[in-house]
Structures are given as C-alpha cells and as structure tokens.
Structure 1
Amino acid sequence: MKKILLILPFFLLTILSCKAQDKEPSDFIPKGYTEFKKYSGDLNKDGLEDYVLIIKKTDSANVVMNRFDKKVDRNRRGIIVLFKNANGYELADKNLECFSSENEDGGVYFAPELWIEIKDNKLYIHYGHGRYGYWKYTFRFQKSNFELIGYDSSSNRGPVTNRETSINFLTKKKLTKENTNENAEGGDEIFKENWYDIEIDNLIKLSEIKDFDELDMYNY
C-alpha cells in the first residue's frame, strides 16, 4: 500500500503532463479574448504545421460610436504562435495587444489591413493600405523568441511606386529606391538606389512590441 501511495503522485504528474501537451490551438486563447483569424505553416523547420492565431479582446467598454454614428468594436488584437509537436501544440510566443482594432478611423481612406503570411519558415506581418502601398515585418524564430530580422515598405500613388525601403537587421543594411520619373504612370518608374548602414544592438522581439502602429522604422 505504501509503495502504491509513493508511485501515485508520479503517475498523476505523467498524466497531467500529457494532458498539458495534448492541446488544440483554441485552448491557448486566454479568457476575455476570441479568435479573429488563424494561419498555418511550418515556422521552426520541423515539417509540422504550426499555427498563428490573431486574437481580439472582447471588452464591451471598447465598443464605441465612431464619427459616422456607427457602433464599432475598437478592441485591440494580439498574436499567439503555436508549434506543433507529437502530442499537440506548445506555446512558442505571444503578444496579446500589439495590434490596433480593424475598425480604426482611417481618415479620408480606410485603415490599413493586417494579415499574416508564413513562408520559408518565417513569419510575415503585413499591412496593406490600398493605393498608398504596404509595409511588412519579417520575424524568425531564434534564441527561443521570434525576432524582427527584416522590414519592407512601398509608398505608392495609385499604380505608381514612389519609394521602396528594405531593411535587413541581420546584415545591418538598408536599401532605398526613389522613383525619379515624375511622369511615371505605373511600371515605368526609374529608381535611384541608395544603400545605408544601420545601427542596432539588439533585435526587436515580437513579444516586446507594445504597438505596431508606433514601431518607427524611419529611425534606422
């Protein structure tokens, strides 16, 4: 009987450990949040299908009237990254409120549209802004964190690209391309390229970004 009592705690711990690993992606969404969008792909080079969840807070206090007297949900959004393993999923990284609401006021134009892409084992956080262009952040899992290794943007005037910027935080290099053809109509731009060295001591971690809207890449 004494031996059974000694073995029982270890047996229970083994069961609980297995249960903790055997989770579905939705099990990682904390209370007070809901799934907004879900993406899948291999992020850690093991050939398994990992998941990225965009989540959204559900605080009713953030459902407000906008300037058009329309009720909109201004709750912020966040991200949860999950790695697939033999028993289920495990948390790789998270940031619960780093993205603004999809219902922000875009002024004379719509607010930028957020979407995620998983490609070549990298995580891309992409903002599209219609005729005005886009910007995107490239993260890679290393040193037990998703770290920002690249940034790309395009500033447009309709079909015409005015300026492109590409930053590689690993090589500490920045490339800018400026259109010098004032009469360009799209596809006939003439770009002047400039390379710059940038200064950065530590790579930015996904989990430490307070607000992507305030992540100023022009400082580099």
Structure 2
Amino acid sequence: MRKLLTILLLTFSTTVFAQVAEKKDLVDFLPEGYDIFEKIDGDLNKDGLEDNVLVIKGTDISKVKTDEDRGELDRNRRGIIVLFNTNGNYELALENYECLNSENEDGGVYFPPELSVKIEKENLYFHFGHGRYGSWEYTFRFQNSEFELIGYDETSKRGPVTDRKTSINFLTRKKHEKVNTYENELDEVFKETWTTIEVKRLIKLSEIKDFDELDMTVD
C-alpha cells in the first residue's frame, strides 16, 4: 500500500510539474481580471533566450471614471509579470500585479508621467517621462534569484533647461549629482559631486507596492 501511494504521489508531482513547464501561451499566466497592456522581449537571465515582460492592467469597470475635461478614464492600476524562456516554454520569474499606476492617473496640475519599460544588456528598466519637467528611471537586474534595484537616474528640468541630474549606483554605493549653476544663460554649467551612500539591502521588484511611493533620497 505504501509503495502504491508513493508511486501515485510521484506520478501526480510529475504531472503537475509537466503542466507548469509546458505553458507556452503568455495569457496562461494572466491572473483573472487582468489584460496584457504591453509585452517586452529580451534576455534577462543571461542564457541567450528571449524572455518576456508583461505589463498587465486590471479590468475592473468600477475603476473607469468620467472626467469633465478628459472624458472617460480607465483608472485600473498596472503591474508586471516576468516570464523566463525555457526553450519555447515559459517559467514564471516574477509577478507584481499593481505596482504601477494607471496611464490615466490624475496628475493634479500636471499630466501623469509616461511609463516606458525596456530590456537592455540583461537589465530591466522602468522609465517615467514627465515632458519638460524631467524624468526618472529605475534599473533592475536578476541576481540572487530576485530582480533587485541596482540603479536610479533622475533629471529635473525647467522647460528646455536642465536643473539637476542625479545618478545612484546601489552596487558601488556611489551617488553622482550634477547641478546647474546658471552661470551662463546660454549654456548649462554644472557643478558635479560624488558621494558614498549607505545601502543596507537592495530593493526587490517583487516587494514594491507602488513605484510612486519609492523614496530615492539617500545619503
């Protein structure tokens, strides 16, 4: 009886594993109540295969609002699913369903920042563009079996003129700042500083509840 039970358990485990490993359709990884908003391809785990990042978006109709100036706005939040390519099949590497706000978020007196997700040199980038006000970007790398935040870059602008540029490397624990001195009205003249920062632990993408709440103020 014990041998039979062991065989049945092994057979069941093998069947479940095969079902997980044989997922070939990206939509099979979508949680209920979400659609694919955008798909990004690129190698993230340095195996030479094209992995997939899905930006997903909720479909709750109660979160579709009507604005008197902008009309109907879908305020459902967005999230991320990362799938590793395993020779034609897909393996779930990360899921974070609501870490990104809606593309129709209320920006107050400003318009909401525009999100761009890309893969370059095995790194995963989240770029937020705010037009003439500047931009900020988060860089993640797959290491220690996690996607960890290894870099942050921010540019503050006043129209076409750059006020400040900040770049943080969490691996080297260095912060680089360039501040416009406005010594010359025709040219941007920057004062540069390098500082060493304290990093107790790297932020994991899986832990981020809301990108808007990340505080990149470091000393």
User: TM-score scaled to structure 1, two decimals?
Assistant: 0.90
Cα pair 2:45 2:122 within 8 Å, conserved: yes
What SS does structure 2 have at the residue aligned with 1:189? coil
Q: Compared with structure 1, are the counterparts of its residues 174 and 6 closer, same or farther at alpha carbon in structure 2 (3 Å cutoff)? A: closer
Provide, for residues 114-163 of structure 1, a one-character-per-residue CA deviation record: whole Å limited to 9, x for no partner: 11110110000110111111100000011111010100011112221110
- 1:165 maps to what in 2? 166
How far apart, CA to CA, are the structure 1 residues paired with 2:137 and 2:6?
A: 55
Instruction: Verify: 1:39 aligned to 2:30, yes or no.
Output: no
How far apart, CA to CA, are the structure 2 residues paired with 1:109 and 1:199?
A: 33
Cα pair 1:160 1:184 within 8 Å, conserved: no
Cα pair 1:21 1:87 within 8 Å, conserved: no
What SS does structure 2 have at the residue aligned with 1:217? coil
What SS does structure 1 have at the residue aligned with 2:112? coil
Provide, for residues 168-219 of structure 1, a one-character-per-residue CA deviation record: whole Å limited to 9, x for no partner: 111111111001125545xx31110011221221110001111101111124
What SS does structure 1 have at the residue aligned with 2:217? helix
Q: Compared with structure 1, are the counterparts of its residues 105 and 182 closer, same or farther at alpha carbon in structure 2 (3 Å cutoff)? A: farther
Structure 1 segments (4+ residues) deviating >3 Å: 3-16, 182-185
Q: Compared with structure 1, are the counterparts of its residues 9 and 214 closer, same or farther at alpha carbon in structure 2 (3 Å cutoff)? A: closer
Provide, for residues 16-52 of structure 1, a one-character-per-residue CA deviation record: whole Å limited to 9, x for no partner: 4222112122211100111111100000000000000
Q: Could you list the runs of 5+ residues in structure 1 that have no partner in the other structure?
A: none
- 2:131 maps to what in 1? 130
How far apart, CA to CA, are the structure 2 residues paired with 1:8 and 1:17?
A: 14
Q: Compared with structure 1, are the counterparts of its residues 43 and 6 closer, same or farther at alpha carbon in structure 2 (3 Å cutoff)? A: closer
Q: Compared with structure 1, are the counterparts of its residues 135 and 184 closer, same or farther at alpha carbon in structure 2 (3 Å cutoff)? A: farther
User: TM-score scaled to structure 2, two decimals?
Assistant: 0.90
Q: Could you list the runs of 5+ residues in structure 2 that have no partner in the other structure?
A: none
- 1:50 maps to what in 2? 51
Displacement after TM superposition at 1:87 (Å): 5.2
How far apart, CA to CA, are the structure 1 residues paired with 2:170 and 2:185?
A: 31
What SS does structure 2 have at the residue aligned with 1:175? strand
Root-mean-square deviation (CA, aligned residues, Å) is 2.1
- 2:22 maps to what in 1? 22
- 1:66 maps to what in 2? 67
How far apart, CA to CA, are the structure 2 residues paired with 1:122 and 1:156?
A: 26
How far apart, CA to CA, are the structure 2 residues paired with 1:141 and 1:219?
A: 23
How far apart, CA to CA, are the structure 1 residues paired with 2:133 and 2:5?
A: 68
